[in-house]
Structure 1
Amino acid sequence: MLKEITLLILLLSFFNANSQGLTKKNLLKLNELSIKKEKGSVIN
């Protein structure tokens, strides 16, 4: 029983770290897109 609980905790922490990494990448992409839009609007 204890082994299963520790495995679950490990899996949850792994998925949590993975999702945080994905959200950070998405935020960086959104920042890049917003900067490009601002530059584009200035040019236009």
Structure 2
Amino acid sequence: MLKVDPSIIGDGIRLFSGPFAPTRFTPVDEVTLPGGVRVVTYDRST
């Protein structure tokens, strides 16, 4: 299970390699599939 939030914060288990830098993301599209799964597309905020 992966909790998706429009920002990357904290330490915990690393999902990305390299140094940590807070990055904000803005949702730009969302599709809900018949089984209830949501596919959300994010763009980096500037």
- Name the TM-score class by shorter chain: under 0.3
Bigger share in strand: 2
| TM-score normalised per structure 2 | 0.17
Higher relative contact order (CA 8 A, sep 6+): 2
